[in-house]
Structure 1
């Protein structure tokens, strides 16, 4: 995908499609690629992978066009759907200012070892006008120029600081993923149950995990299907492995009583499995550790994540889903010291309706659920665990099973093998959960302090 800079627009071109973005007001229009001939002195800046959207970091700063500069292939999900991680982005100010060095991959079609001109050529009329008026305005700006320079420097520092933070979010976290052909926001089960099959990808997504929805709203309004890339935040790993469940020991193979193996297809002897882990972080109530806790008035809990484990072999895909999130009561941890003391912000009665709203959402989506509460049962976290249990009892829903496991107490000293105590205790429940392929009817919900 090529990026062009023209006098009044930035233009993205892919095949016979083009997306024009105004440098004056950020307005976006979809046009045929041949319209590039109508742009004023377009210069190819290089190649990009796609559009994340637009953002205004501060009211004093211009809109910025955020683009995927580089991507990395994570793997292929069943159906040959490629999944990519965003590794680098580019932010282009939508203004008359020249963009800073973008370090884009050069386009072989338009770059022949010639650097891009530092400044786009002006029309003859503009040049004459500037020369004529320069002498008139020179004396008028002498007084306020120092003040203006100071303001500009402060503005530049602010812009640089905010841009650095934006780059860190996308490039240092290694947590933004997308696919051009697969809906990463929905589990296999939701995809199978959806009535939206066949629609453009962005129209099928689960709104909770569509992280760049607001940034790309203009393209959604234009129904510009080709240009809208739904991006998730979280984690994706895809691996292939071979399992030989017919393997015999050396003694059995050397025994004269062992019959010779028949010649069989390699995939029958050593079936190839695709194993994938997809974690989707909700865009609702996301935030920093200690600074974002509990539930909000819409029933969203802080740092909510849905994790799906996929196993694919031959033509079969199995899916198992868990969710995690902050304890769904109103609580906080004030201060910046390590592990500040939790405190409740609202009482039982005030919390009940919002707690109910959260689990109504969960039950509508996932049906029966097992709550595994991992907060400390003693010490400073006890107040949160007790409030959680009280709300579960008040809610009194037969579709909820509540299990408490003091994670820090049992696994103290890095003894994480003690989680086996929990898994043994709930083994019957896990068996009943089943996989999606086996009529998936349960979900495991985990609440913990991290």
Structure 2
């Protein structure tokens, strides 16, 4: 068995800069082999410290860890974590949020390359804006229930849940070296284990608090899957491997008698290497409850055209069956029975998605039994699809549709509680995880007393606003149950009426969860957070939702292309080294110059209209020319705006690294229409002909580039 230090990442690392290598060492582990990454080859070695005396070190920098290594177009870069912020302690272990990073190139770039600069900018902005968390000693990728059964003799990165090991792709070089060695180091290299630091992407808050004078730690962790990661309109539905868009696992945690305290930095001494602080007193106890969310698992998409409501496409269900089966096979294997709570509208454009989901479940489940409940508000208050007593894996899937919008219409959000009431039997059978710390255990293993036997998988169209409202209600119901079982609440009581301060904390941490999850997917905070924070729907909250809707429209149409490119780059969906090399062709705007210029024509026309309307005029001057001036540029502005809105596919900021097939098809169809435009059609055709030779020359030059 490996030692405790070897199983955990180093909490203090120095990187030494030499002309021919980067050298990583841990001051608190002087006997450990330094990790040497050669420049410019990127070859890795584990050397004895005495063998490095000949290296000429130009400077030394203290870092919190290695985020990963990534190959871009011209060079390979080591991403190091330069600044972190303590979030709190969970079961005695310190948790951190990444604040800043730096990219260390393996070679000094001799040429200028605009695409390489864009790649670097995408990475920097993505890491800076992404909520990423880690711990040197605690496994944040796994729920407490999964942690209770894994092999603690394995290094931390080997225990990590593959779905939530967010930086796994950028750690492939280190992982490959660990497993197979290199030209000079043959076989597995266990000495590199402490340099591999698993990161999660999502939301994490830890609140040491009290409930009725009982000290406890309340924590909420939302882990976003690294599979099918992306932005709202560019990543929908399911892929062929069974991964769904915006998949998140949310774990609500209560820790009692946690004696760990203090907020140490990342450069702790060797005595802190384990990261665990112990103490005497009552046994530490952990209770946790897990929920999931994810996009409707069929092939569907929403196509931006600058219309406020994107065009919806849902493919035939038969094409999704294999992928959906793979998805639910995994979900049942990981969580047990799955209760699929669907919150999309049963009317309007969302109806297609609802019906597709139900048709899918009907085909997956053997001899399904369906039932529908209605009331004065809606003809389909609940639609339930249950399996018969089949023994197949997919017969552990239970579908529950709830007409959220109809039931909560008129700011009556309290009626969402009807869903919780409808699911009481399932929730009671579901249970939650409960375990005690084993005092004699040196590896922090828990003694399990209770298991969570199933999971609620919630979705709406985006898996954001409605989803978070329902998830917070399920978490509230379960937390009441936990407190009753702990004896700090009487049966029939609720924490919301028993402790206003705890209620305030609970509401705000779930509202923070809504905002953070929403921002990473849609670019804005969540809607309906007034309900989560205050317990009621307000007119001010409705106005704020309007502001969020407008902001989402702008960002999803004009800013999300680069954001999606950043996801694809960091997660390895697009690998520059494996792509075709050309001269600044990756991020080039391939639209005809005339098409590109029309938004600028619109802006100038509006400017001149404003000048004509508000510039003081000489009383003796005639008004005819001024009126003609204003009318002319008003016409230009009107035509330009009409052209842009009529050909919106040409003005959406699409992803460039991994183009969507529907975007390419829509772009070509729109260009065909523009070429027939009576006013500018011939100009566009002439411009495209003039570009063809230049494009061919660029392509030929790209084939000859060597870098």
TM-score (norm 2): 0.50
Matched, 1:355 2:324: yes
Among 38, 53, 73, which residue is 1:22 paired with?
A: 38
In structure 1, how many angstroms separate the alpha carbons of the residues matched to 2:132 and 2:411? 30
Give the corresponding residue for 2:103: 91
Matched, 1:421 2:418: yes
User: How far apart are 1:413 and its partner, in Å?
Assistant: 6.5
Query: Which segment is superposed worse, 227-236 or 401-410?
Result: 401-410
Give the corresponding residue for 1:214: 169
Give the corresponding residue for 1:201: 156
Matched, 1:227 2:195: yes
Matched, 1:182 2:151: no
Give the corresponding residue for 1:42: 57
User: How far apart are 1:33 and its partner, in Å?
Assistant: 3.3
In structure 2, how many angstroms separate the alpha carbons of the residues matched to 1:414 and 1:68? 45
Q: Does the residue aligned with 1:26 lie in a helix, a strand or coil?
A: coil
Among 457, 460, 471, which residue is 1:445 paired with?
A: 457
Give the corresponding residue for 1:62: 75
Give the corresponding residue for 1:323: 292
Q: 5+ residue gaps in structure 2?
A: 1-12, 179-191, 258-283, 366-393, 435-449, 463-707
User: How far apart are 1:431 and its partner, in Å?
Assistant: 2.1
In structure 1, how many angstroms separate the alpha carbons of the residues matched to 2:421 and 2:203? 28
Give deviations 1:56-97, integer Å, cap 9, x for gaps: 232xx211110001111111111x111111110100111035
Give the corresponding residue for 2:311: 341
Q: Does the residue aligned with 2:219 lie in a helix, a strand or coil?
A: strand
In structure 1, how many angstroms separate the alpha carbons of the residues matched to 2:69 and 2:228? 21
In structure 1, how many angstroms separate the alpha carbons of the residues matched to 2:340 and 2:397? 7
Give deviations 1:75-125, integer Å, cap 9, x for gaps: 1111x111111110100111035xxxxxxxxxxxxxxxxxxxxxxxxxxxx
Give the corresponding residue for 2:520: none
TM-score (norm 1): 0.77
Give the corresponding residue for 1:433: 430
Give the corresponding residue for 2:204: 236
Give the corresponding residue for 1:403: 400
User: How far apart are 1:198 and its partner, in Å?
Assistant: 1.8
User: How far apart are 1:411 and its partner, in Å?
Assistant: 4.2
User: How far apart are 1:38 and its partner, in Å?
Assistant: 2.1
Q: 5+ residue gaps in structure 1?
A: 98-147, 245-269
**Matched ranges for 1:135-154 at <5 A:** 152-153=111-112
Relative to structure 1, is the Cα distance of residues 7 and 320 closer, same or farther in structure 2, using a 3 angstrom cutoff? same
**Contact map agreement 1:23 1:96 (CA 8 A) in 2:** no
Q: Does the residue aligned with 2:421 lie in a helix, a strand or coil?
A: helix
In structure 2, how many angstroms separate the alpha carbons of the residues matched to 1:416 and 1:198? 48
User: How far apart are 1:182 and its partner, in Å?
Assistant: 1.0
**Contact map agreement 2:145 2:451 (CA 8 A) in 1:** no
**Contact map agreement 1:36 1:42 (CA 8 A) in 2:** no
**Contact map agreement 1:368 1:400 (CA 8 A) in 2:** yes
**Larger helix percent:** 2
Q: Does the residue aligned with 1:53 lie in a helix, a strand or coil?
A: strand
Give the corresponding residue for 2:84: 71
Among 104, 119, 130, which residue is 1:162 paired with?
A: 119
User: How far apart are 1:336 and its partner, in Å?
Assistant: 5.0
In structure 2, how many angstroms separate the alpha carbons of the residues matched to 1:376 and 1:275? 34
Among 347, 352, 355, which residue is 1:383 paired with?
A: 352
Relative to structure 1, is the Cα distance of residues 414 and 161 closer, same or farther in structure 2, using a 3 angstrom cutoff? farther
In structure 2, how many angstroms separate the alpha carbons of the residues matched to 1:2 and 1:307? 34
User: How far apart are 1:414 and its partner, in Å?
Assistant: 6.0
Among 16, 25, 33, which residue is 2:49 paired with?
A: 33
In structure 2, how many angstroms separate the alpha carbons of the residues matched to 1:26 and 1:409? 59
Give the corresponding residue for 1:284: 227
Query: Which segment is superposed worse, 413-422 or 296-305?
Result: 413-422
CA-based RMSD of the aligned residues comes to: 1.8
In structure 2, how many angstroms separate the alpha carbons of the residues matched to 1:348 and 1:242? 50
User: How far apart are 1:406 and its partner, in Å?
Assistant: 3.0
In structure 1, how many angstroms separate the alpha carbons of the residues matched to 2:358 and 2:20? 60
Q: Does the residue aligned with 1:419 lie in a helix, a strand or coil?
A: helix
**Larger strand percent:** 1
**Contact map agreement 2:305 2:311 (CA 8 A) in 1:** no
**More relative contact order, 1 or 2 (CA 8 Å, 6+ apart):** 2
User: How far apart are 1:176 and its partner, in Å?
Assistant: 0.8
Give deviations 1:244-290, integer Å, cap 9, x for gaps: 2xxxxxxxxxxxxxxxxxxxxxxxxx321111111111111111111
Relative to structure 1, is the Cα distance of residues 444 and 302 closer, same or farther in structure 2, using a 3 angstrom cutoff? same
In structure 2, how many angstroms separate the alpha carbons of the residues matched to 1:191 and 1:439? 12
Matched, 1:171 2:183: no
Give deviations 1:131-187, integer Å, cap 9, x for gaps: xxxxxxxxxxxxxxxxx9xxx44x1x33332222211111123x1111111111111
Relative to structure 1, is the Cα distance of residues 170 and 416 closer, same or farther in structure 2, using a 3 angstrom cutoff? farther
Give deviations 1:401-424, integer Å, cap 9, x for gaps: 211123344445765444223222
Aligned residues: 363
Relative to structure 1, is the Cα distance of residues 408 and 56 closer, same or farther in structure 2, using a 3 angstrom cutoff? farther
